[in-house]
Structure 1
Amino acid sequence: MRPTYHALVLNLHQPAGNLQELWEKNPWEAKEILFALDRIPRSLWGYEDIARVHLALSGTLLETLADPAFQAMVYGTVDVGSLLWYYQNTALFEILGTAYYHPVLPLIPPEDWSEQLSRWLGIGRHLFWRENFQGFWPPEMGFCMELIPLLKALGYRYVLVDSEHVEPVTPMDWPKLLYRPHVACYGGAEIVVIVRDRDLSNAQESGMEPEWFCREVEERTRWCDAPPLVTTCTDGDNGGWFRNVTYGANFWTAFYVPLLERARGDCAVPRPVFIHEYLDRYGVHGEVQVHTGAWNTGWHHGRGFIQWTGSQRQKDGLRAIWKLSQRVHALRRRANELGRREMEFQNLLEQALWRLLRAETSCNFFWGEAWVERAERDLEAARTSLEAAERYLQS
């Protein structure tokens, strides 16, 4: 009997300052989130022989968890400093690279991509004590082929994409398309593409039983002629299924740990695997192209990014980001040409840049118009710093 492999991927993200604000205004929700984060390693202790989990932590979440003031504030509820240490258990966790402020990358200016990705690498390398991260998690699974050269230049081996947007270049049937890794090529660079099973991921998000999952995987992979890789990706700190504190009523204690128990003794159960281990063992199948899009949300399918662009105010906010980004990068290039390195000027320019990058956070545009004001505030602060930098350069 050929084995079947399961790659579990969890996205963990909180916007800058969100946990601190919740701790003050809605402490139980803040505790639910912290408990959900802390439950991940605690649920897996003792299963190092079989458990394999991929984690993508946004830069803003890592920044909050690493903040000594925040650690002191929540100490007694969750030991956040120890939690970061637990995530370094390489027997259980594969850390995926991502973008620092969790933007929908195809919706922001390409000149900002490298800043978002390199800043995450800075904090990721510091907190996880490693130079390289094999896999890349595009926030909201927002991907476009134009990202491929940058991902390769930063050392990524593979990227996760949603099944809704993948189209074969090499002729293949749908089981091969969904359950084998492939390559995608753009601009002379290529990267391995790992395809998320949208239907099974929807079940993972809302709640499922181990028996149902095993039967569904068996049925879906029945016609695979090589060991299939079934990849499920969801948030890991949102929704009642992940936040529920009752034993036996959340993802870990009702589904994943019982699945691990079965996998230890039944070779027919999908075996957890790190994606890089699967690639080392079985390689890739063919070539695909990936259409620009995101994963599905509770309201939209991910095509056209309607979740983030549905209203005029959302569109205006994104348009303002593009305009300000052009000004910021033009001034950076001008300063480099003139050799201007004064500390006061560079500080003003950095203030403008990081405020711009934070304005690009996907959450600012996800909730209709409810959070667009947060992007607008950051953009206004960025303009103020940029104008001061422009005046400085002219003086």
Structure 2
Amino acid sequence: MTRVCHALGFLMHQPPDTLNTMVEHQMGRLLQIIDSYQMPLKYLNSYQDCLKIHVGFSGVLLEELLSREVIDACRKIIDIPSMLNGYRESKNVEIIGLGYSHPLFPLIPAVDWDAQIAQGREIAREVFGHEPRGFFPSAKGFCPQMIPILKKYGYEYVILDRSAVKPKVKEAVGSCCGHDRYSSIGSLLYRQTEIGAVFISNGFDHLRAGDSPTKLPEALPSRDGASLAAGQQDLLIVDWLVIDDLIGRKISSLPEDCEFWEGYFSPYLEWRYKSAIAPRSVLLRELVPEMKMRPPLTLQVENICIADFQENGHFASIGRCSPSERKRAIEEVWRLSQQYHEVRSALLQKADRCLSHGQVDLADLLERVQKWLLKSQTDCYFSEEDESWAAKVYDNIKPALILLKEVKRQVW
């Protein structure tokens, strides 16, 4: 008999300084957002016997959730430290790593990938007490060149949309997924470095309006649905939900008046709790050994959309099809990155001289510049249709440039 398993993940992310700004101007909205972050935990406490979840917080969001201003503003209604500790202590939660500011990795300089991955992992470890084993890149923002960096920091698998993976030879993505067990897991290879892969199926999105939650396995795309009907292999459904999309709203396939948590998720869990044939909840870390057993799919670089500069310094690949304001903002992020790394390299070469400037800690100044740089690379600045988002990138670039100017003044 075919066994159906369900891996469910929730993504929590806000652009830099969003929550702190809401403390002053949108307190109601702030409480609504924080309450949405504790919703998975509420259901987890009620359905401990049949629910396991994955949770990923971006580094910039965790920093705000740890800020005294946000904690104090919400304290009378929501205990943020208690919420974070709930995720930390639960055995039914797997913490997933994100980039520090959840960037679109192909869109930012590769020289900044290491810091994005390292700092996102470090703050997750500090807050939740666990080393994340899985990594979720923003949207379809994955490049095979990321694999060695992910492995360097201890990641064992990456969670992807199938369309984000480009094989080096003419072979289907499914060729790295065995036919004895789950078709949604596999292994990827780039320059002798291998990492596990989990492919999102988004079963919830394939439900039709009015469908019962019991229809979830049957609603999958034909690739997985056919395998299930034929009983060829066990089926793993991988759903990844953005918490912000669920605030008082529905997922795309549900009826207009159907709120997600009470209108769909609660009945779904009730069915799973009572039914012997309902999907079994799993954590992806349990499947890492199976990922390692799969023949790896060798990836190519040529077809991956990687942002870069031409010799004249103008933004190339993605910029050609981006609105003008977004393109200009991306170019400024690249220029800031170039300036930061040039100054950092120069300081390393002049270490003795820099140490003589005892009044100002130049290393601390550079660290602050890097923080602003990484924040400027937040995904929504460049992925939202509203071009006003692109203008927000300068809120991070301007203070970084001021600090860089101070560093140069101290040394040169």
Contact 1:38 1:78 in 2 (8 A): no
Map Cα deviations across residues 317-363 of structure 1 (whole Å, 9 max, x no partner): 11111122112112212211222345432233223221111111112
Contact 2:32 2:247 in 1 (8 A): no
Residue of 210, 228, 235 corresponding to 2:235 = 228
Contact 1:33 1:238 in 2 (8 A): no
How much has 1:45 moved relative to structure 2?
0.8
Q: Compared with structure 1, are the counterparts of its residues 189 and 112 closer, same or farther at alpha carbon in structure 2 (3 Å cutoff)?
A: same
| TM-score scaled by length of structure 2 | 0.82
Query: Amino acid of the residue matched to residue 37 of structure 1?
Result: Y
Residue of 177, 180, 184 corresponding to 1:180 = 184
How much has 1:369 moved relative to structure 2?
1.6
How much has 1:371 moved relative to structure 2?
1.8
Query: Amino acid of the residue matched to residue 219 of structure 1?
Result: G
Tell me which residue corresponds to 1:375. 393
Query: Secondary structure at 1:7's aligned position in 2?
Result: strand
Q: Compared with structure 1, are the counterparts of its residues 324 and 191 closer, same or farther at alpha carbon in structure 2 (3 Å cutoff)?
A: same
Tell me which residue corresponds to 1:332. 344
Query: Secondary structure at 2:365's aligned position in 1?
Result: helix
Q: Compared with structure 1, are the counterparts of its residues 221 and 93 closer, same or farther at alpha carbon in structure 2 (3 Å cutoff)?
A: farther
Tell me which residue corresponds to 1:258. 267
Contact 1:137 1:159 in 2 (8 A): yes
Map Cα deviations across residues 8-67 of structure 1 (whole Å, 9 max, x no partner): 111110122212323433333222212211222112213222211111101111111111
Percent of matched pairs sharing the same residue: 25
Contact 1:65 1:80 in 2 (8 A): yes
Give distance in 2, aligned partners of 1:68 and 1:203: 41
Give distance in 1, aligned partners of 2:305 and 2:276: 36
Q: Compared with structure 1, are the counterparts of its residues 159 and 201 closer, same or farther at alpha carbon in structure 2 (3 Å cutoff)?
A: farther
| TM-score scaled by length of structure 1 | 0.85
Tell me which residue corresponds to 2:254. none
Tell me which residue corresponds to 2:372. 355
Query: Amino acid of the residue matched to residue 196 of structure 1?
Result: I
Residue of 219, 228, 239 corresponding to 2:225 = 219
Q: Which segment is superposed worse, 155-164 or 251-260?
A: 251-260
Q: Which segment is superposed worse, 367-376 or 354-363?
A: 367-376
Q: Compared with structure 1, are the counterparts of its residues 207 and 29 closer, same or farther at alpha carbon in structure 2 (3 Å cutoff)?
A: farther
Contact 2:187 2:292 in 1 (8 A): no
Query: Secondary structure at 1:76's aligned position in 2?
Result: coil
Query: Amino acid of the residue matched to residue 191 of structure 1?
Result: I
Give distance in 2, aligned partners of 1:25 and 1:243: 26
Q: Compared with structure 1, are the counterparts of its residues 377 and 46 closer, same or farther at alpha carbon in structure 2 (3 Å cutoff)?
A: closer
Query: Amino acid of the residue matched to residue 179 of structure 1?
Result: S
How much has 1:175 moved relative to structure 2?
9.8
Tell me which residue corresponds to 2:286. 277
The answer as to 2:100 corresponding to 1:100 is: yes
Query: Amino acid of the residue matched to residue 184 of structure 2?
Result: R
Residue of 213, 217, 235 corresponding to 1:210 = 213
Query: Secondary structure at 2:46's aligned position in 1?
Result: coil
How much has 1:233 moved relative to structure 2?
1.3
Tell me which residue corresponds to 2:313. none
Give distance in 2, aligned partners of 1:206 and 1:240: 19
Tell me which residue corresponds to 1:22. 22
Query: Secondary structure at 1:77's aligned position in 2?
Result: coil
Contact 2:165 2:173 in 1 (8 A): no
Query: Amino acid of the residue matched to residue 142 of structure 2?
Result: F
Query: Amino acid of the residue matched to residue 19 of structure 2?
Result: L
Contact 1:207 1:241 in 2 (8 A): no
**Aligned Cα RMSD in Å?**
3.1
Give distance in 1, aligned partners of 2:318 and 2:261: 31
Give distance in 2, aligned partners of 1:184 and 1:93: 25
Tell me which residue corresponds to 2:162. 163
How many residues are aligned here?
379
Q: Return 5+ residue gaps in structure 2 as ranges.
A: 252-256, 307-316
How much has 1:109 moved relative to structure 2?
0.7
Residue of 191, 198, 216 corresponding to 1:194 = 198
Give distance in 2, aligned partners of 1:107 and 1:136: 18
Q: Compared with structure 1, are the counterparts of its residues 30 and 90 closer, same or farther at alpha carbon in structure 2 (3 Å cutoff)?
A: same
Query: Amino acid of the residue matched to residue 317 of structure 1?
Result: A
Query: Secondary structure at 1:192's aligned position in 2?
Result: strand
Query: Amino acid of the residue matched to residue 105 of structure 1?
Result: F
Give distance in 2, aligned partners of 1:206 and 1:66: 39
Map Cα deviations across residues 271-307 of structure 1 (whole Å, 9 max, x no partner): 111011133467553333486369xxxxxxxxx868x
Alignment of 1:8-157 (within 5 A): 8-130=8-130, 132-157=131-156
Query: Amino acid of the residue matched to residue 264 of structure 2?
Result: F
Query: Amino acid of the residue matched to residue 183 of structure 2?
Result: Y
Give distance in 1, aligned partners of 2:120 and 2:208: 26
Q: Return 5+ residue gaps in structure 1 as ranges.
A: 295-303
Map Cα deviations across residues 233-291 of structure 1 (whole Å, 9 max, x no partner): 120233445689xxx95333333333333334434322111011133467553333486
Contact 2:47 2:273 in 1 (8 A): no
Map Cα deviations across residues 82-137 of structure 1 (whole Å, 9 max, x no partner): 1111111332211101111121111111111111121122211111113x211001
Query: Secondary structure at 2:41's aligned position in 1?
Result: helix
Give distance in 2, aligned partners of 1:22 and 1:205: 36
Give distance in 1, aligned partners of 2:27 and 2:211: 29
Q: Compared with structure 1, are the counterparts of its residues 144 and 379 closer, same or farther at alpha carbon in structure 2 (3 Å cutoff)?
A: same
Tell me which residue corresponds to 2:277. 268
